[in-house]
Structure 1
Amino acid sequence: MTAQAVGTPQDAEGATWLDLLDPTPQEQILAEQLCGQPLPALADLNAIESSSRISVRGGAAFLSSPLLKRNGPEFQTTPVGFILSENRLFTIRFQSYQAFETVAQLVAAHPVTPATPPAPPATPEGEQRPAAPLALKAGEILVALIEAIVDRLADILESVGDLLDTLSRDIFRPPSASQPVRSMALRQRDLLQRVGNSGSLCSRMRDTLLGFERISLFLSESRKVAASAPAAGFSLSTRQISMAEPPPDPQAKAAPYTLPGALRTRIATVSRDLSSLEAYVSQAQDKVEFLLDATLGFINIEQNGVMKILTVVSFIGVAPTLIAGIYGMNFKDMPELNWSFGYWYALGLMAATIALPLAWFWKKGWLGGIK
């Protein structure tokens, strides 16, 4: 299946997967003509209720979920939409994703069944003939897309783990003794910002995982009749998974978008992977909360140290101020006014009231302490 631009309905003949990347209004109208019903816009894909993210209309399944992407040092979340019918898959996205490019390469390299398949070559008795290649179905492409997206999300989660480990080392690393107070304040502010960004990243990742888990559960619970189940062939997947086709239920009545048994098995595996990733995200969120508490605790310790210094300064200034206030009163009868050494006596008394509290605070460890 070669990739090509679709400008007219004739260009889309025989196309199984139609990918709309930030579509223009004209492209949206053309896609709606090909689908036979209205397609969701960006505002519809951003809806958070389950009925908007998973719905069935006109024999097609409309699925949407937020998807996390890393753009350099930052992470962004934009919605993606999937419309799965019996013969076609429509994808709507508003920025490029590596998972879509990966699956597009798999689709382009996938062998297609010729219109008139040649007769298989003769083989020795007892030797199995090679199976003819199969044309890709829309459900196969959708499952491969979800698998590639989940693998990409797992890679992002690994980088999140490394990010939290680095943040933990920076938080618990003892500050340099020569570091100025202003630099300490900037460092604490930077740590708080990094902790907040990590918490936001975990929250966005959790929204993405929940959205795709709903999609995988919806697809894995579908059923198809025996006549619509494809034969075994090459499996389009970024994973090395080979599953036997389970026996179909002849009494089951299927919707046009339902998946065959082998694809349901693969999507069930994806659902389990998503559950394990959610558990990892929950653990990461707990670690973010712990790092936030630790950062705030260190900030409180620094503030307590500053308050101690202010308390000492204010305390040692009380007694000298009291002495200066007493001897600054203009009373006629004050014995010390006639002393020739009264001035030095007052200065010495004020110095003593400063030195004694300082020595006491030093002994208690408020100014560094002594062992």
Structure 2
Amino acid sequence: MIRAYRMVAGRNEAVDGTPGPDALRQSCWIDLNAPSAAERRLVEQTFGIELPTREEMREIELSSRLYREAGGAFMTATVLCRADAPVPETMDITFVLTGETLITLRFDDPKPFYGFHNQVSRQSVRLDSGVSAFLSLLDAILDRIADVLEGAGRDVTAVAQELIDGHQGHLNSDQQHLLLKRVSRAHDLTAKARESLVTLTRIIAFTATVRELANDKGLRPRLKTLGQDAQSLADYTAFLSSNIAFQLDALLGVVGIEQNNIVKIFSVAAVVFLPPTLVASIYGMNFHFMPELDWPYGYPMALALMVMSVIVPFLYFKRRGWL
């Protein structure tokens, strides 16, 4: 699918239907979302470029993600996607700056793009040029990552509070499992956000060398601000990762303490019942000559001895605080 926008009389105007080569050349932003082979050829022939394939977009080498060709500058970023889903995902998006046009190539619909299309339609964002559209789109992506990280931070704080409150009332196994899943999801979300920020930081640094930006010095302060925002988010991600690791250790520590308490109860029970077992074993031996066998009070004495051997260790352990 192709969605294109151009500036007409100071307003953003969407190009209806499938745009032709002339309409594409006049557009400030061309968004390709899972394009067909015909749509790819149309854009490539119009601008004289070769768009990367989906497999090429997934390559992790820096030279495969950031490069210049005769037709323009190619930049591929890994962007956080489906952050609200149980399992967050990432997707690769290629930005192409060619002349006064920004071309984006993607195979999913993350929230920043959905929201940016709405802003463009409502005239909240002016697409004066391809570079301006590119910087505004980067800003929208960073804003979305910031919102996701804020939500993850709040969830980790809530987990810490539940650990503190649950320590007094003892967390059951279901609660522990739920907290562990929340911590695991926060870690996964933070890791993917950090991966996204690394690629965006590289793109911002690469953009400073792009000729289209160098010709418009008024956009350089915006690029510098985006770089600072990306760096601050990366720092917050590092802090959040350490906080998640601490909460995971704390949760595993609580689980370990409760397991130790259970093992301690069984250990104490085994020690408490060891003396009566010994007494019963002695008088259960099949020797013919045992003095107590002929004693009228031998059986009650054995029972009393076994009861006393239970009570005395129990009181001793209770006094020492082991129970």
Q: What's the TM-score, normalizing by structure 1?
A: 0.77
Structure 2 residue identity aligned to 1:153: I
Query: Secondary structure of 1:205's partner?
Result: helix
CA gap 1:71/1:154 in 2 versus in 1, 3 angstroms: closer
Residue number in structure 2 paired with 1:14 = 26
Counterpart CA distance in 2 for 1:109 and 1:197 is: 35
1:96 aligns with 2:131: no
Query: Secondary structure of 1:173's partner?
Result: helix
CA gap 1:5/1:97 in 2 versus in 1, 3 angstroms: farther
Counterpart CA distance in 1 for 2:128 and 2:216 is: 13
2:40 to 12, 15, 28: 28
Aligned pairs for 1:182-261 (under 5 A) are 184-222=172-210, 255=211, 258=214, 260-261=216-217
Residue number in structure 2 paired with 1:140 = 132
User: What is the deviation of 1:30?
Assistant: 2.6
CA gap 1:185/1:104 in 2 versus in 1, 3 angstroms: closer
1:43 aligns with 2:55: yes
Residue number in structure 1 paired with 2:10 = none
Structure 2 residue identity aligned to 1:300: G
C-alpha contact 2:131 2:212 (8 A) present in aligned 1: no
Q: How many residues align?
A: 309
Query: How large is the Cα RMSD of the aligned pairs?
Result: 2.4
1:331 aligns with 2:287: yes
| Bigger share in strand | 2
Which is worse superposed, 11-20 or 67-76?
Answer: 67-76
Counterpart CA distance in 1 for 2:286 and 2:119 is: 99
**Of the two structures, which has the highest relative contact order with CA contacts closer than 8 Å and spacing of 6 or more?**
1
C-alpha contact 2:81 2:89 (8 A) present in aligned 1: yes
Aligned pairs for 1:102-121 (under 5 A) are 102-105=115-118, 107-108=120-121
Query: Secondary structure of 1:92's partner?
Result: strand
Counterpart CA distance in 2 for 1:193 and 1:99 is: 27
C-alpha contact 1:219 1:258 (8 A) present in aligned 2: no
CA deviation profile, 1:132-181 (whole Å, cap 9, x unmatched): xx98221111111111221222222222221121111112213575x7xx
C-alpha contact 1:46 1:79 (8 A) present in aligned 2: yes
1:310 aligns with 2:266: yes
User: What is the deviation of 1:256?
Assistant: 5.5
Structure 1 residue identity aligned to 2:247: L
Residue number in structure 2 paired with 1:54 = 66
Structure 2 residue identity aligned to 1:37: I
Query: Secondary structure of 1:174's partner?
Result: helix
CA gap 1:55/1:338 in 2 versus in 1, 3 angstroms: same
Structure 1 residue identity aligned to 2:129: K
User: What is the deviation of 1:189?
Assistant: 1.6
Counterpart CA distance in 1 for 2:178 and 2:235 is: 28
C-alpha contact 1:22 1:95 (8 A) present in aligned 2: yes
CA gap 1:279/1:185 in 2 versus in 1, 3 angstroms: same
Counterpart CA distance in 2 for 1:328 and 1:165 is: 60
C-alpha contact 2:49 2:71 (8 A) present in aligned 1: no
Counterpart CA distance in 2 for 1:259 and 1:331 is: 108
CA deviation profile, 1:5-64 (whole Å, cap 9, x unmatched): 426535524223210112233323333223323212222222222112211122411101
Larger Rg computed on CA atoms: 1
1:64 to 76, 81, 95: 76
Query: Secondary structure of 2:166's partner?
Result: coil
Structure 2 residue identity aligned to 1:77: T
C-alpha contact 1:86 1:257 (8 A) present in aligned 2: no
Structure 2 residue identity aligned to 1:72: D
Counterpart CA distance in 2 for 1:147 and 1:354 is: 72
1:86 aligns with 2:74: no
User: What is the deviation of 1:100?
Assistant: 2.7
Counterpart CA distance in 2 for 1:91 and 1:152 is: 18
Residue number in structure 2 paired with 1:350 = 306
C-alpha contact 1:85 1:257 (8 A) present in aligned 2: no
Counterpart CA distance in 1 for 2:256 and 2:41 is: 59
Name the % identity: 32
CA gap 1:21/1:317 in 2 versus in 1, 3 angstroms: same
Residue number in structure 2 paired with 1:279 = 235
Counterpart CA distance in 1 for 2:208 and 2:56 is: 24
User: What is the deviation of 1:326?
Assistant: 1.1
C-alpha contact 2:272 2:314 (8 A) present in aligned 1: yes
CA deviation profile, 1:48-100 (whole Å, cap 9, x unmatched): 22112211122411101111134535432211110111132110122223433
Q: Gaps (5+ residues) in structure 1?
A: 112-133, 223-254
CA gap 1:259/1:207 in 2 versus in 1, 3 angstroms: farther
User: What is the deviation of 1:328?
Assistant: 1.0
Structure 2 residue identity aligned to 1:204: K
